[in-house]
Amino acid sequence: MTPELQEQEERLQFDRFDHDDAWDLGNLLVRLARERGHAITVDIRRGDHQLFHYALAGTSADNDDWIERKIRVVRRFGHSSYLVGQSYRDRGKTFDEEPHLDAALYAAHGGCFPIILKGTGPVGTVTVSGLPQLDDHRLVVEAIGLFLDAKENTAS
């Protein structure tokens, strides 16, 4: 699975990402969640600046805590929170066994994906919390893919 996760990060890159893009991507995630009956919280940041945050009914402050912990993983490692966790599982370990990282501050669970600018690298994060970790990850990846496809179609 790790090569597939790495391929996602190579493929799902932005030419640019601004406040309006965060608004559009965030609303896309909320719409997908509503259509599917998911209770999730969505968070989008560029650097430390939170550009979008929305909690659907059925979520709690616990989801905000998970978001913060997942974001710390992406910022530290530069890869999706699911890819980081999977890299440990591939080696027969768990991320929580990492002695120098406090599990109360870091969660290598799916749902946080880096906003990667082509030619620049990671500049922010898109995070979902509320579903099982693989489903959180898949929802973010799906939304970013739909968003980028729509941008490409309007540019041509």
The reported pLDDT for the residue numbered 98 is 77
| CA nearest to 113, candidates 91, 133, 92 | 133
Model confidence at 99: pLDDT above 80: no
Model confidence at 155: pLDDT above 80: no
For 48-96, write each residue's pLDDT tens digit.
999 999 999 999 999 999 999 999 999 999 999 999 999 999 999 988 8
Two structure tokens written together for 127 = 């995070």
The reported pLDDT for the residue numbered 154 is 83
Q: Residue 125: which residues within 8 A CB-CB, separation 6 or more?
A: 43, 44, 45, 71, 74, 75, 112, 113, 114, 115
The reported pLDDT for the residue numbered 156 is 66
77 to each of 70, 80, 87, 108, 111, how far by Cα in Å? Answer: 11, 8, 11, 10, 15
The reported pLDDT for the residue numbered 153 is 85
Two structure tokens written together for 35 = 């259509």
β-strand partners of 45: 50, 125
The dotted CATH code for 2-150 is: 3.30.450.150
54 vs 26: CA distance, rounded Å: 8
Model confidence at 35: pLDDT above 90: yes
Which of the four pLDDT bands, split at 50, 70 and 90, describes residue 2?
confident
Sequence spans of domains, the chain: 2-150
The reported pLDDT for the residue numbered 100 is 84
Two structure tokens written together for 156 = 């041509």
* 3-class DSSP assignment, residue 96: helix
For 109-146, write each residue's pLDDT tens digit.
999 999 999 999 999 999 999 999 999 999 999 999 99
70 with 127: CB under 8 angstroms?
Answer: yes
Which of the four pLDDT bands, split at 50, 70 and 90, describes residue 21?
very high
In angstroms, the first-to-last Cα distance of the chain is 33
Q: What is the DSSP-derived secondary structure letter of residue 5? A: H
